[in-house]
Amino acid sequence: MTEKQDLPVPDSIKISSLNLKNADIRDVLRGFGEKYGLNIWLSPEVNGVIPIHLTNIKLKDAIKFIVTRYGFSFRVRNNIIEIFKEIPKPEELPAAPVKMVLRNDRISFELTNVPLDSVTRKYTQLTNINVVAEKGLSGGITGFLTNLEKKEGFKILMGSNGFDIKESGGIFYVMKKESESQLGSKAVGRGQNSVVRIIDKRQIGFEANNASLKQLLEEIALQANMNIFFFGTIEGSVTANIDTLNIDKAIEFLLSNTKYTLWKDGEVYFIGDESQKKITNYELIKLSNLKADQILELLPKSVIEQAVLKVIKEQNGIMVIGSYDIIRACREYIALIDKPVPQILIEALVVDFSISRMDETGVKAFLQASGDSSIFKRQISPKIALQARGEDVNGYLSKASDFLGLKQIVKLPSDFRAQINLLESQGLANVQSTPQVATLNGHTALIKIGTREYILLTSEIESGDNTLRHQTTERLESYEANISLSVTPWVTSNDQVTVEIKPIFQIPGVSPMPGKIPPPINTREITATVRLKNGETYILGGLISTNQQEVIERVPILGRIPVLRFFFSHKTKREVKTKMMIFLTPHIYFGSDANVKHEEIIKEWQLAK
């Protein structure tokens, strides 16, 4: 028995009497199964005639005796009793010893009918030279050699036992040596063979020395299980040593600088003279990043003239109809230009800083004082303290009255928005806008911030012939004050952004005749080109404006009581000077990647509200 198992038969079932003479063992065992409800399967080799007489014996003991007595075995699987004849294992003969010694790069052999795989394994262990045997190759190796150079000795040993050795890339390839008649029909080039090896389904390596081009192509097709047709006679020889290369590329290289060309129809390869090529190929080249209807303008003229190109918008692809080499050229060219287009998110922050307010409170925000300027700390209200470390913010802060002295390209600190919000809560700053706009690489993004103001103009007209009368008319006239920012980014290969920035400031001035003439619009335009790292900020500043503002100063509580407030409050008009700063930050990302940290940007937007 192959397994020590018990039969699934209760001990209570007994055979009172059984007397058989020359009965078929299969009939006996099947009869037990039918009578006692047992699942019994008999292997075809279970047969024979048995005489037996049993009295008052358990059923399972009777089955065990019959099965084992006549040289069979049983096992139980899924409550089924399987009865079969066990095949004895052949005795393993001791392996022939591999006597191989390497000293000072010289080798000695003493082998008697040693298996080929044992010899190659031992040789690799001693010499660190990899040996690969042809698939299905086997046989015994016998030989006695002493004190030979390790490579030459191995070649002599294999050659004397009917094997051939080819060396390629430091690896020995062992193959069956062909007879003279076979060598005449399969000779490559001038009687020298080529070695072709398949790395995987689409990768190949080979070594050829003045080999016949056609026979080398046939060997590649045979090894790679390719369907290949030759048109006409393929002549010429080739010498090449390829370690690892795509099969299609390898064939293209072999045919380069020859009069032959390659084309495909599905998985079938065709090789022949250019003049014999008749098959037209079709291939849909899908685009991953560019738009299909724009790709035709980018293809070389030589490709467009020799192929029929159709745009398949639904697939975002180009159907190319033409010869295989034209399709290949089109495919390779599209692969070069169909790259992910960087997108740039332009984040702008427009802030008006009140210079007058800062001077009144004595707060010098963004201080860059002489001496130790590493820490700026100021109490601007009884319960709010403003603190910043100059080295952490790259020295970008300066006096509010002199923002032109700050660095224009900085890396803003993580708490920059919190600092702006703190100044805004104290009336020292006013966030005008926080626009964000995205654009593709090389395309212009425009951010425009403006207001439309209305002014009431009056005019007097004299009328009447005898009596002079003055007629006064009033009308509303509007004017716009805009700040527009044109940004054109280009992303370099090292994730830097070259940005062409063109800000235009339209600032209303003071009318020479208020109420009669609209104020003049002063325009300032700057064009600058800067290079920024991803996430760096470019700061535009220097736009100072002065406005008239009515200010009421009151005595606490008393200044708000009716009647009394006239005695405990004071109303004045003063000039308020503000300076506008624009913080411009580009972020690079390629569609699905995480260069732009969306969660952080959302948090910043929430803080700005």
Three-class SS of 375-415: EEEEEEECCEEEEEEHHHHCCCCCCCCCHHHCCCEECCCCC
pLDDT of res. 22: 81
Boundary-marking domain end, from 177, 207, 238: 177
Q: Does residue 383 sit in the same domain as residue 318?
A: no
d(CA 32, CA 239): 76
Give pLDDT tens digits for 459-491.
777 665 666 566 777 777 777 778 788 888 888
For the purposes of burial, counting CB atoms within 10 Å of the CB of 250, is it exposed (0-12), middle (13-18) or buried (19 or more)? buried
Residues 6+ apart with CB under 8 A from 327: 281, 283, 307, 320
pLDDT of res. 542: 62
Q: Which helix (H) or strand (E) holds 205?
A: strand 203-212
d(CA 37, CA 26): 16
Q: Does residue 422 sit in the same domain as residue 564?
A: yes
More confident residue, 192 or 432: 432
Q: In three state form, how does the secondary structure of 44-76 look?
A: CCCCCEEEEEEEEEEHHHHHHHHHHHCCCEEEE
Number of domains in the chain: 5
91 domain residue, yes or no: no
In contact, 285 and 334? CB cutoff 8 Å: yes
Give the CATH number, domain containing residue 37: 3.55.50.30
pLDDT of res. 89: 67
Give pLDDT tens digits for 157-176.
888 888 888 887 778 888 87
Give pLDDT tens digits for 348-363.
888 888 776 665 554 4
More confident residue, 448 or 381: 448
pLDDT of res. 487: 86
pLDDT of res. 466: 60
pLDDT of res. 236: 84
- The winner for highest mean pLDDT among 349-353, 380-384, 431-435, 455-459 is 349-353
Q: What's the angle, vertex CA 140, arms to CA 137 and CA 142, rounded to 5?
A: 135
Q: Closest Cα to residue 343, out of 491, 447, 446, 485? A: 491
Q: Does residue 576 sit in the same domain as residue 601?
A: yes
Q: Which two tokens stand for residue 295?
A: 């790709």
Q: What's the angle, vertex CA 349, arms to CA 358 and CA 589, rounded to 5?
A: 150
Q: Does residue 494 sit in the same domain as residue 578?
A: yes
Q: Which residue has the tokens 């005489």?
A: 51
Whole-angstrom CA distances from 177 to 137, 235, 241, 595 are: 11, 26, 22, 60
Whole-angstrom CA distances from 538 to 61, 157, 527 are: 96, 76, 13
In contact, 529 and 499? CB cutoff 8 Å: yes
pLDDT of res. 194: 67
pLDDT of res. 3: 46
d(CA 479, CA 488): 28
Boundary-marking domain end, from 259, 276, 293: 276
Q: Which helix (H) or strand (E) holds 108?
A: strand 106-115
397 domain residue, yes or no: yes
- Mean pLDDT of the 497-514 span: 78
Q: Does residue 426 sit in the same domain as residue 537?
A: yes
- pLDDT cut 90: percent of the chain above it: 1
Domain that holds residue 200: 182-276
Q: Where are the alpha helices (DSSP H) in 376-518?
A: 416-425
- Mean pLDDT of the 136-160 span: 87
Give pLDDT tens digits for 557-594.
777 777 777 777 777 766 777 787 888 888 887 755 44
Q: Which two tokens stand for residue 236?
A: 């010429």
- Mean pLDDT of the 81-90 span: 79
Q: Does residue 304 sit in the same domain as residue 359?
A: no
pLDDT confidence tier of residue 190, bands split at 50, 70 and 90: very low
d(CA 524, CA 508): 11
Q: Does residue 363 sit in the same domain as residue 492?
A: yes
d(CA 427, CA 445): 32
d(CA 223, CA 219): 6
Q: Closest Cα to residue 348, out of 407, 433, 420, 451? A: 433
Q: Does residue 59 sit in the same domain as residue 41?
A: yes
Q: Does residue 486 sit in the same domain as residue 375?
A: yes
In contact, 342 and 491? CB cutoff 8 Å: yes
Residue 188 has pLDDT above 60, yes or no: no
Helix (H, G, I), strand (E, B) or coil at 131: strand
Core vs surface per residue 378-393: b (16+ CB within 10 A) or e:
eebeeeeebebebeeb
- Mean pLDDT of the 41-59 span: 86
d(CA 392, CA 412): 9
Q: What's the angle, vertex CA 498, arms to CA 497 and CA 503, rounded to 5?
A: 115
Q: Does residue 350 sit in the same domain as residue 387?
A: yes
251 domain residue, yes or no: yes
Q: Does residue 495 sit in the same domain as residue 401?
A: yes
352 domain residue, yes or no: yes
pLDDT of res. 49: 87
pLDDT of res. 551: 65
pLDDT of res. 257: 79
457 domain residue, yes or no: no
Q: Closest Cα to residue 350, out of 439, 440, 451? A: 451
DSSP code per residue over 309-353 = EEEEGGGTEEEEEE-HHHHHHHHHHHHHH--PPPEEEEEEEEEEE
473 domain residue, yes or no: no
Radius of gyration of the chain (CA): 47
pLDDT of res. 385: 37
Q: What is the mean pLDDT of the chain?
A: 75
94 domain residue, yes or no: no
Boundary-marking domain end, from 292, 318, 337: 337
d(CA 92, CA 46): 27
Core vs surface per residue 413-449: b (16+ CB within 10 A) or e:
eeebbebbbbbbebebbbbbebeeeebebeeebebeb
**Neighbour tally for 361: CB within 10 Å:** 16
403 domain residue, yes or no: yes
User: 234-237: long-range contacts (C-beta < 8 A, 24 or more apart)?
Assistant: 234/260, 234/271, 234/272, 236/212, 237/189, 237/190, 237/210, 237/211, 237/212, 237/213
Residue 510 has pLDDT above 50, yes or no: yes
Q: Does residue 205 sit in the same domain as residue 110?
A: no
